[in-house]
Amino acid sequence: MKETIHNIISSPNGMTRRQFLWGTLVGSSALALGLPLYSAYENGFRSETFIARVRDYQADISWIVRAGFQELGVSAAEIKGKKILLKPNLVEPHTEKPHINTHPLFVRGVAEAFLHLGAAKVYIAEGTGHCRDTIYILEESGFSEIIKEDRLPFVDLNYDAVFEKPNAGKYTKCSSFYLPGILQEVDWIVSLPKLKTHHWTGITLSMKNLFGLMPGAYYGWPKNVLHSLGIEQSLLDITATVKPHFAIVDGIIGMEGDGPIMGIPKAAQVIVMGRNFPAVDATCARIMGIDPHKIRYLSAAAGWLGPIRERHIHQVGEPITSVRMNFALEDKIPAHKNIRI
């Protein structure tokens, strides 16, 4: 299966098979992208996601997250004594644009939820993609305040000591990845992305947020080595190699249009949670009015990293239909074409 998908999303000289299929058959199922038939059955994968409706960032986010944990079977016994790494999405230093970065109050609420269940320590960690001045980003995005007040240690993933781990995905040419050493010290890696559309991948959610784990000292700014290897291939490899544990999506205020930076705010008023990243991202896509089968990296992940078919994802909390709102897409952006449900 991987060989087939790699051929689809690689970019040799001339028109690739992916380009041909994307230009002529986009809007079809994963099978139309050339994926093997058995990927449609997702190899027996099943998962759960939780959706909560949340009006604004003044809500009791900690309580809502704990309610989600209970629905998803995450108990205090599972968390007690664990070290938790929270990886928000800090793209640009903008205090007055809450649709760009994961909101600091959201991160505070998630940290409180883990500590309430007995976590030994909660870290906030990020390897920012554009600006190299981490202190400036933390101050301008409002994170410095919660880090100081809540005494949450921050780890700059761009400069952390690294270890090498074999590439478990093999979609890129990398035989291994250099990863921040903190990943070896924690028990849970939790992705806290924004609910956003994306210029290159259509959407950016829990899987794409893992790009920020990769140290800029090795992979450049904004992770340009990974971009040159292929964004979709890289995020598949990173997800397979890192094996993150949980995703909690900040969709209280998301972004539509030309994301992940140039888009406009979208008050989706949701939080989406789950253990399986493709399932969470597929659920978020449906909330955004986007067909996850038409997002190439999700089609590639199906049947390998997790399920994306709606009938294979047990939905708890709010039903998708009650929170769905079509996020604006840009016709001029190729990754946005024909991905609407």
Q: For the segment 126-174, what is each residue's pLDDT rounded down to a tens digit?
A: 998 777 788 888 888 889 999 999 999 999 999 999 999 999 999 999 9
Is pLDDT at 31 greater than 70 in this prediction?
A: no
Mean of pLDDT values over 48-60: 98
Single pTM value for the model: 0.89
Q: What is the mean pLDDT of residues 329-338?
A: 96
Whether residue 341 lies inside any domain: the answer is no
The confidence score (pLDDT) of residue 128 equals 86
Whether 30 has a pLDDT exceeding 50, the answer reads no
E strand intervals along the chain:
47-53, 83-88, 121-126, 154-156, 162-166, 176-180, 188-192, 194-198, 202-204, 246-256, 264-266, 270-274, 313-317
Of 6 and 118, more confident: 118
Q: Which of 176-180, 189-193, 216-220 has the lowest mean pLDDT?
A: 216-220
Identify whether 211 is part of a domain.
Answer: yes
Per-residue pLDDT of 172-187, as tens digits, reads 999 999 999 999 999 9
Residue 126 within a domain:
yes
Q: Which residues pair with 88 in a beta bridge?
A: 192
Q: Is residue 19 part of a domain?
A: yes
* Main-chain dihedrals φ then ψ at residue 249, nearest 5 degrees: -95, 125
Q: How confident is the model at residue 32 (pLDDT cuts 50, 70, 90)?
A: very low
The domain spanning residue 127 has which CATH number? Answer: 3.40.50.11440
End-to-end CA distance of the chain: 26
Question: Given its phi and psi angles, is residue 269 left (phi above 0), alpha (psi -120 to 50 degrees) or beta?
Answer: left
| Residue 71 belongs to domain spanning | 2-336
Tally of structural domains, the chain = 1
When pLDDT is averaged across residues 186-211 and rounded to a whole number, the result is 97
Q: How remote is the C-alpha of 149 from its chain's centroid?
A: 27
